[in-house]
Amino acid sequence: MLAIPRADAVTMPHRPLHAISGLVEAPVEATWPALLAVVPELQPGATIPGIHTDVDPARHQIAQQGEWWYRGVVTVAAAARPGASEITRAIYNVAPAVSRWMVPFVHRHDARAMRGAHEALLRAVAHRLGCGYVIGD
């Protein structure tokens, strides 16, 4: 499901549980539409049961929320390198305060899988734009 952010959207904690960034050698104005074109969940007819997807064009941000605690956010921003964009993927614990402590017991972070998924996203965006990319450490 694709939607503009809701007025009642969950407020995210200040710090993500996990985050990774990378650069695409193209400006935000080109990178943002390329990102929208390659994210499978944003394609016509695509749905993931139990997952809600928000697209915020003003912030260049895609957020997916599901289960009782998960919110994943992908953001495109101007990079320090001229003409490049930084794409950041972050995972937030948005569980209610009473159950937030349980997340480490149910969520097993796989840094290698997150890095692989982010690199695949960077590669797809860069390929669509015909430019290079670099994944962060």
Using the 8-state DSSP alphabet, how is residue 42 labeled? G
pLDDT (mean) for 20-43:
94
Q: Considering only residues 44 and 35, tell me which one the structure prediction assigns the higher pLDDT.
A: 35
* Cα separation, 99 vs 39, whole angstroms: 31
* Cα separation, 137 vs 135, whole angstroms: 7
Q: What is the pTM of this model?
A: 0.85
* Cα separation, 86 vs 124, whole angstroms: 14
pLDDT (mean) for 13-34:
92
**For 86-137, how does the pLDDT look when each residue is reduced to its tens digit (9 = 90+)?**
999 999 999 998 998 898 888 877 889 999 999 999 999 999 999 999 998 6
**pLDDT band for position 8 (cuts 50, 70, 90):** very low
**For 45-93, how does the pLDDT look when each residue is reduced to its tens digit (9 = 90+)?**
778 888 888 999 999 999 999 888 899 999 999 999 999 999 999 999 9
Domain ranges of the chain: 2-135
Please name the helix (run of DSSP H) or strand (run of DSSP E) that holds residue 85, with its range, or none.
strand 85-93
What fold is seen in the domain 2-135?
A: Alpha-D-Glucose-1,6-Bisphosphate; Chain A, domain 4 (3.30.530)
